[in-house]
Structure formats: C-alpha cells, structure tokens
Amino acid sequence: MASTPLSLILLTLINLQLLLLLSPQTQAQTPSAPAPSPSGPINVTGILDKNGQYTTLIRLLNETQVGNQIVSQLNSSTEGMSLFAPTDNAFNNLASGALNGLNDQQKVQLVQYHVTPKYYSVSDLLTVSNPVRTQASGATGVWGLNFTGKGNQVNVSTGLVVTQINNLLRQQFPFAVYQVDQVLLPEELFGAKPPASAPAPAKTPSGSPNTKTNSTAGGALAPTGAGGRNLVGWGLALVLGLACMAALS
C-alpha cells in the first residue's frame, strides 16, 4: 500500500493548484457587479427595466424626453448624473389626479426634479451640502433637494416629502441610480398654492410605507454581490473531500 501516500501527495498538489486557480477569479468577482462596457451609451431604461418596478417612471422619462436628455448629457458631462427613481408603488400612492393635474411642462419639471447634474455616491450624499441642485428649475431658479445622513442611512427631503433611500440600482460613475419609495414632490409644484388636485403634504408620520427597510439597519445601502466567498468555500470543501477520499483509498 505504498501508493496511498503518493496519491495523497499528488491529490494535494492538484488541489493546491486548483485553489490557486480559483483565487484570482474570486478576487476579480468580489469588487463590483457586472461592469457594462464604458464605451456604449448608458441605457437608462435598461437599468430600470431590469428591476421591474419602474414602469411609470420609464413611461414618464420617455413621454417627457428627460430620458433622452440624461443620455445625451451623460455623454458630454464630466460631472456625471444621479437619478432618484420612484417605484410604481410610489406613483400609485400619490393622491389621484396628482399627475394628471400637471401640464406637459410641469411633468417635465417633476421628472427633472428627480435628476441631478452630478454623480453622487452614497458617501457623497452623506456629506453633501444642501440644497442640492436638480435638473428642474422655474421662476424661482433651480429647484433643490436636501439630503441628510446618519450612519449610512440617507434621507432625501423636498420640504413636502421626506423619504429614505433604501436601494442602490447603480453606483458607478458617471451614473448613479437610487430607488425612492415616494415621488419627490417639489414645493414649487405641489406646495403653498394648492390646486384642486394637489396631494396632501407629506404623509410621513404614522405607520405609512415609508419605513419599508428590507435589510438590517447598518447594511441598508450595501451593494449586493458578496457571492465571491462561496467559491473559496467550495474550493476548500472540494480539497477536504478529495483528501478524505485519498486517505481512504
């Protein structure tokens, strides 16, 4: 049975090699989600479409042409851009008629209010100085959003609406996309001079869907994709398994 130690050594060597082969791959996978080729234009609809709950926003981006504005501005901007993307639920929770009460120009302004002419990562948002300029403007100048951060939780406020930023759809220069669970209603359109269709101001208190965090307190904004570790785990299991088999043979 002199063959046993030899085969064991061979197997161990093979397995070590296997581990070495695995590890660079693991490292390459860990840092970030699949990186789209930086050359082509960014497909805004594509980013939102993948997540399946932004049909109203996609329709509005198209209807108002703001989607095209984003694409062409991204192409020429050195600052990048950010989009705060309300979900279909957010639109459904608006007072009925809130959207239909807007004329075409106001719809454009509403959508532009969700876009900033600058790229902000989460850590940028935590420390940014308020108010933050959006793409929307009117008689009173550029309309702003306010961001407040604590830990790695970020709230965005319009003065009428405060909502937590729960989910990162994309955080990669030059374009960041964040989910928001409420439509960001600008005071300039929905504030003071209430038209018949204006929604009640920010229904933040009481158990409304505002606090729908689906993750542990600290990790709410952590991008997904720590799947790389599993490979190492499997590699080790494989090595141990083969070593056991070798020992038994």
Ligand X SMILES: *[C@@H]1O[C@H](CO)[C@@H](O)[C@H](O)[C@H]1NC(C)=O
Report the residue number, 130 or 230, with the smaller CB distance to ligand X.
Answer: 130
Helix, strand, or coil (residue 67)? helix
Minimum distance from residue 23 beta carbon to ligand X (Å): 27
- Chain residues that interact with ligand X, rule: CB under 6 A: 41, 43, 45-46, 49, 59, 62-63, 72, 75, 130-131, 146, 148-150, 153, 155, 157, 159, 162, 164, 204, 210, 214
From the CB of 232, what's the least distance to ligand X, in Å? 22
CB of 247 to ligand X, least distance (A): 40
* Tokens matching residue 21: 């082969």
Give the Cα separation of 21 and 17 in Å (integer).
6
Residue number, 12 or 121, with CB nearest to ligand X: 121
Instruction: Tell which residue, 97, 108, 103, has the closest CA to residue 62.
Output: 108
Ranges assigned E (strand) in the chain: 81-86, 115-116, 132-138, 141-150, 153-157, 162-172, 175-180
> Least distance from C-beta 109 to ligand X, angstroms?
16
Q: Residue with structure tokens 């948002």?
A: 125
Select 157 or 171, whichever has its Cβ closest to ligand X. 157
What is the closest distance, in whole angstroms, from the C-beta atom of residue 157 to ligand X in the complex? 5
Rounded distance, CA 114 to CA 109, Å?
A: 9
Q: How far apart are alpha carbons 136 and 186 in whole angstroms? A: 9
From CA 203, how far away is CA 181, in angstroms rounded?
12
